[in-house]
Amino acid sequence: MEFKQEVMMGKGKGKGKGKHKISNWKQYNQALVNSGLVTFWIDVVAIKVWPCIKHHDPRSRECIFSDTAIETALMVKGIFKLSLHGLEGFLNLVFTLMTVSLKSPTYTCIRNAFEDRKN
C-alpha cells in the first residue's frame, strides 16, 4: 500500500516528468523492443583461456575451469540474478547462439570454486 501511495504522490500537478508527445510511433515502439535486447562481447583471449583446464581426477567428468570462466559466470549470475542451474543453461545457450565452441562450467564446479574463493 505504501508503494502505491508513493507512486500516486508523484503524479500530481507540477510534480514528476512533463508530458512528451510521441510523434514517431514506429521509432518509439522499436526503441521499446530494443530495450529488451542483450548483447555479449567475448574477447578472443577469454575464449582461449575459457575451456576446461584439466579434470579433477582421471575417473571424474568434472572439469577445472580457468579463473576467467568462473569469474565471468559469477558476474553473469549476479547481473541476471540466476540460480546456478539456470546460469549453466543460460551460458550454454548464449554460446550456442554466438556459435562459439565453449561450454559453461557445471553448476557444481561454479559452486565449488565460489566456496573456495570465500575461504
pLDDT tens per residue, range 3-28: 343 434 444 555 556 677 888 899 98
For 20-116, strand residue ranges (E) read: 54-55, 63-64
Within-domain flag for 50:
yes
Sign of CA dihedral 56, 96, 46, 87: negative
Residue range(s) defining the domain that contains residue 22: 2-34
Within-domain flag for 39:
no
Q: Based on the domain organization, do 50 and 68 belong to the same domain?
A: yes
Q: Based on the domain organization, do 19 and 62 belong to the same domain?
A: no
The answer to whether the predicted template modeling score (pTM) of the entire model surpasses 0.75 is no
Q: Based on the domain organization, do 29 and 67 belong to the same domain?
A: no
Q: Based on the domain organization, do 65 and 108 belong to the same domain?
A: yes
Q: Based on the domain organization, do 30 and 71 belong to the same domain?
A: no
Count of structural domains, the chain: 2
pLDDT tens per residue, range 93-110: 999 998 988 889 988 888
> What pLDDT shows up at residue 6?
40
